[in-house]
Amino acid sequence: MALLKTYDMTVRYGGLAANADVSIEVPAGKLVGLIGPNGAGKTTFIDAITGFTAISSGRVEFDGKDLAGMTPDRRAHLGLVRTFQSLELFEDLTVRENLLVASERPTWWSFLLDLVRPPRTSPALEARVTGALEALGLEGIADRLPMDLSHGQRKLVGVARALAAAPKLLLLDEPAAGLDTVESQLLGQHMRGFLDGGTTIFLIDHDMGLVLNVCDYIYVLDFGRIIAEGTAAEIRKDPAVIQAYLGQSAGEMQAQAGESVAARVSGTETGGATHG
């Protein structure tokens, strides 16, 4: 059964249809990718799914429920959690607190307890947070403020924050932006690791190397429309994709570079290479 399904989803800004009749399906436990050139409507797509922009027509179903009219925080509670291309970390909280905030699910009266009792977090919450930190190798910098971290580390904290919420579906919005090929391949391995934890992942990026190597199934978006879908092998050879993307040779060369690096990296001992 598909965890996330969109039926002809259309998002219109005035006259421009940023997304037109987009129908995709994300089966549970899979790593599905969405690639497309800059300005193809990828971020509009993820904003529409997570409730930040209104849908002009069509439907979105998550875990069997129609998301129409749901506020972003209600969707997060259902397990649909996203990261931001621009990170949007909580600059005033330490890394650990960023993760705690994202994964806490307070009851309406918990503020009364918070006012009277000294600081105490439930063991389950603690476990989720430490698990996410370890998954991305961030234990060392758990108590530092995001503004004191390098860009790479901030990227990982963004992903860790989403992961800490133990989401059913993790929407990654251009996680590899700004990372070099070595780091993005490392991130790709991490993602495969998350799948084993029962999390489904929907990866959105324009880095062909990462997407083609990591994803089980790929959709290609161009000018708001799905122009192709299929496994990595089919997508690589699909003429429409190559045409729409960066032209024949560039697409191919980037894919091969990604492959060679992935081979070398998986040779070294795996586990989170700390970016400390």
Partner 1 sequence: MSDIIFFLLAGLGLGSLYAMLGAGLVIVYRGSGVINFAQGAFAMYGVFTFDEARRNGYLRLPWFDFLPTHTVNVPVSIKLSDEGVSTPVAFVLAIAMAVLIGLMAHFLVFRPLRSAAPLGKVIGSLGVMLYLQGVAQLNFGGTGRQPEAITPDGVFQNFLGLDKAYPQGAFWAVVLAVVIGAVLWLLFQFTRFGLATRAASSNEKGAVLLGYSPQLLAALNWVIASVLATLAAIIVGPIGGSLTPIGLSALVVASLGAALIGRLTSIPITMAGGLLLGAVQSLLGFWASKDWFPTILSSGARDVVPLVAIGLVLFLRGKKLPLRGTVEEKRLPLAPYPVRIKQHMIVWSVIVIVAAFLFEDAGPRSVFALALVTSLIATILMLSSVVITGYIGQISLAQLSLAGVAAFIMARMMADGAKLTPDGAVIPFPVSGPGLPWPIAALIGILVAVIVGVIVGLPAVRIRGVQLAVVTIAFAISLQTLYFENSKATGLTAGAPANVKPASFFGIDLKSIGDRGLKDRPEFMIFVLVVLLGAIALVANLRRNGTGRRFLAVRANERAAAAAGINVSRTKLLAFGIAAGIAGIGGVMLGFNQNDVSSAGFVYQASLAYLAFAYLGGITSVNGAIVGGLLAPAGLITVTGAYFFADAEIENYTAILGGLGMIITAIQNPNGIAPTLQPLFQHFGRWLRAARGPEWAAAGKRLGPTFVVGAVLGYLVWPLRVETYSQFWMPLLGGFLALMARGIYKQARAGGHGAPPGAHGAPPVAATTSTPAPAEVG
Q: Which residues bind partner 1 (CB under 8 A)?
A: 50, 52, 71-73, 76-77, 81-82, 84, 86-94, 97, 100-102, 104-106, 110-111, 113-121, 145, 147, 150-152, 154-155, 161, 165, 177-180, 182-183, 273, 275
Closer to partner 1 by Cβ: residue 201 or 244 = 201
- Shortest distance, position 236 Cβ to partner 1, whole Å: 26
Task: Give the nearer residue to partner 1 in terms of CB position, either 115 or 263.
Answer: 115
Closer CB to partner 1, 204 or 242, in the complex:
204
Q: Are 221 and 227 in contact (CB under 8 A)?
A: yes
Nearest approach, Cβ of residue 117 and partner 1 (Å): 7
Residue 106 Cβ vs partner 1, minimum distance, rounded to whole Å: 6
DSSP 181-202: HHHHHHHHHHHHHHHHTT-EEE
Least gap, CB of 188 to partner 1 (angstroms): 15
Closer of 182 and 233 to partner 1 (Cβ): 182
Gap between the Cα atoms of 251 and 211, Å rounded: 12
Provide the 3-class DSSP secondary structure of residue 52: coil
Nearer to partner 1, 64 or 111 (CB): 111
Rounded to 5 degrees, φ, ψ at 217 are -140, 140
Enter the tokens of residue 40.
Answer: 């193809």
* Closest approach of partner 1 to the CB of residue 94, in Å: 8
**Dihedral over Cα of 137, 178, 163, 125: its sign:** positive
Distances (CA, A) of 200 to 56, 110, 231: 27, 30, 17
Phi and psi based region of residue 28 (left: phi greater than 0; alpha: psi -120 to 50; beta: remaining): beta
Q: Which is nearer to partner 1, 150 or 248 (CB)?
A: 150
CB of 74 to partner 1, least distance (A): 8
Distance from CA of residue 130 to its chain's centroid? 20
**For the CA atoms of the chain, what is the radius of gyration?**
19
Classify the C-alpha dihedral 55-61-66-69 as positive or negative: negative
- Select 27 or 152, whichever has its Cβ closest to partner 1: 152
Tokens found for residue 113: 């307890």
Q: How far is CA 80 from CA 60, 61, 171, 175, in A?
A: 12, 11, 7, 17
CB of 6 to partner 1, least distance (A): 19
